[in-house]
Amino acid sequence: MGVTEKEKMLSGELYEPWDDELIIERSRARQLTNSLNQTKDSENHYRKQLIEDLFGTIEGEMGLEPPFYCDYGYNIHVGEGFFANFNCVFLDVCPITIGKRVLIGPNVQLYTATHPIDRKTRASGLEAGKPITVGDDVWIGGNAVVNPGVTIGDNVIIGAGAVVTKDVPANVFVGGNPAKRIKDIE
């Protein structure tokens, strides 16, 4: 039996997003996020259950303020003490692995999804992805964007509105578009 479109997607190869299995899985994620986004603050237990059903792995306690949007959910893995503020978008066609004690501001967008550079291939509708990894003790400021394939080291601060296009080493503050090192931090 050949490689499935899901297996291609997860390995970062070009894949067909119109594949039936992927459509069903995206639909499941939409149903879960829709339910999550309609919860009331008083429904913490239900909200927690929806997030557990949606995310791939959760280590310990975490928090997430709806609304929240993602493609599949099962490719999102978060460590103890994770918190995401309102209106975040995680396009998780490949794994998004987030360490411990990570704070994510409102409107932050993490994109593993990418499209071919070649216009003919892009016009075919094929897509690809590259994983995102975020270390421990990271703070990503509001409205920041992290692009496909980026790794962010431990103890990093991403300034509000930054567009992160390249890997970020540990112990730095970065900001701007494209994000650049502003200073080292301890």
Strands 145-146 and 128-129 come out as: unpaired
Q: Report the distance separating Cα 157 and Cα 4, nearest Å.
A: 38
Vertex 83: Cα angle to 32 and 108 (nearest 5): 75
Q: Which of 6, 28, 100, 115 is catalytic?
A: 115
Q: Report the distance separating Cα 159 and Cα 150, nearest Å.
A: 16
Verify whether residue 115 is a known catalytic residue: yes
What are the DSSP E strand ranges found in 19-95? 57-58, 62-64, 68-70, 76-78, 82-84, 88-91
Q: Report the distance separating Cα 168 and Cα 181, nearest Å.
A: 8
Which residues does the annotation mark as catalytic?
A: 115
